[in-house]
Homo-oligomer: A and B are copies of this chain.
């Protein structure tokens, strides 16, 4: 569904949001530890998110990553997915034709578009804040 990079990216963003709720700024090392991901690879992904203004980074001692409270509401999952995986899950054909096209649809088009539309709606409507709150009360987990 999502690439590994995107999975790490979402988990990382949720963790940063959670910590930012407590006013804590977090380092790559801490993030990788807490979401159980490869450190250097995670750093690369965080750079992408930072360049796309999805998270905020601060260099130097006491530096790290954080997300402003308002941004946790504004940042929806689809923004993270788009920043990392591009728009292939939104425009791609389920059976691999060049692009999805209702004029010359593949045999699975109608059924595939239904699913994809649901997925897209879900991603567009789910905010980082929403995901972080489940974590906060111990209902959900970012690693096992």
User: Which of A20-28, A44-52, A53-61, A96-104 lines the interface with chain B?
Assistant: A96-104
Write out, one digit per residue, whether chain A residues 8-41 have a CB within 8 A of any chain B CB (1) or not (0).
Answer: 1011001000000000000000000000000000
Task: Given A1-B1, A101-B144, A144-B101, answer yes or no on A108-B96 (Cβ-Cβ < 8 Å).
Answer: no
Contact of A104 among B101, B106, B141 (CB under 8 A): B141
A105 and B1 form a contact (CB under 8 A):
no
The complex places the Cα of A124 from the Cα of B4 at a distance, in Å, of: 26
Taking Cβ atoms with an 8 Å cutoff, the residues of A that contact B are 1-2, 4, 7-8, 10-11, 14, 77, 89, 92, 94-98, 101, 104-109, 111, 114-115, 118-119, 122, 126, 131-132, 134-135, 139-144
